[in-house]
Amino acid sequence: MSSLKGKCALVTGGSRGIGRGIALRLAERGASVAINYVRDEGAATETLHAIQRLGVTGFIVRADVSNPDEIAVMAGRVREEFGRLDIFVSNALGNLLGFFAPPHVASLEQLDDAFRCQPRAFFAAMRELSPLLQDRARIVAISFWPGSHVGGFQPYFSMGANKAAVEAMCRYYAVALAKRGITVNTVCAGITDDSIVNALPQEAQDALLNWLRGGWNPMGRPGTPADIGGAVAMLCSDDAGWITGQTIVADGGTSLMSTEVPLAFQQA
């Protein structure tokens, strides 16, 4: 396990779900973690206490990442508390359920809202945090492969298109920052239990998670926040210093399955 001792990290949307899993994995490896949240201060505080029990420091900071002014305030708080930044994880999602609509139904407002909380938020954060980034820093954005690379999940249209934009931005930033040894990558999480999935109606949760347990995930289960946190922590290690501009799919192999071939044939 590569140590992140002495590193300072910021995780947006770090209070719950995948963001919490990332924050805890970074803390387990010794990093101090700033936990951004927008609504649930109690959950952010619980995550902070969990980090502190691991023997590292951190703090919570409220900011709506769709608002550039609030991102600037968040960056100022990181400057006050840490004075530097070694790891930035762009994880905050926004109101996913508010974006659900296929392309011929989605409104301009839904597309704009997804833009504000994804590529524009990432750009604004990079602009504000750049002066704090240390040489050999690590930047990771969280995406979702079925949303950003395929078109079958029609209701994900607005979010998927904007997640794809963030992935493209990571490639540009990877080139721009490479001379400083800073890496910029994307982790595409698969469907993850204890995440935004659990905000869906129970019937939808059961259908999605049981589909994976039934064999469409080769490992026979959905992902967990700790799984995604582990992938992020790996990319934040010194050992991953030669990996940049890449989109890493952390889905337990789900994306390897063929939709054209019956599951029974694939398991034979």
**The pTM is what?**
0.95
Token digits of residue 179: 């001379």
The structural domain count of the chain equals 1
Contact between residue 187 and residue 231 where contact means Cβ atoms under 8 Å apart: yes
- Does residue 2 belong to any structural domain of this protein? no
- Does residue 1 belong to any structural domain of this protein? no
Measured N-to-C along each axis, helices 119-129 and 108-117 cross at an angle, to the nearest 10 degrees, of 30
d(CA 82, CA 80): 6
pLDDT single digits (tens) 133-174: 999 999 999 999 888 889 988 999 999 999 999 999 999 999
Give the pLDDT confidence score for residue 268 in this predicted structure: 64
* Among 7, 156, 173, 179, the one annotated catalytic: 156
Q: Quick check: is 37 catalytic?
A: no
Give the pLDDT confidence score for residue 2 in this predicted structure: 76
The range of the structural domain enclosing residue 114 comes to 8-253+261-265
pLDDT single digits (tens) 220-261: 999 999 999 999 999 999 999 999 999 999 999 999 999 899
Q: Closest by alpha carbon to 118, among 72, 150, 165? A: 165
- Does residue 3 belong to any structural domain of this protein? no
* Among 5, 7, 37, 163, the one annotated catalytic: 163
What's the CATH code of the domain at 122? 3.40.50.720
Give the pLDDT confidence score for residue 231 in this predicted structure: 98
Instruction: Say which amino acid occupies 142.
Output: I
Q: Quick check: is 7 catalytic?
A: no
The band of 1, judged by pLDDT with boundaries at 50, 70 and 90, is low
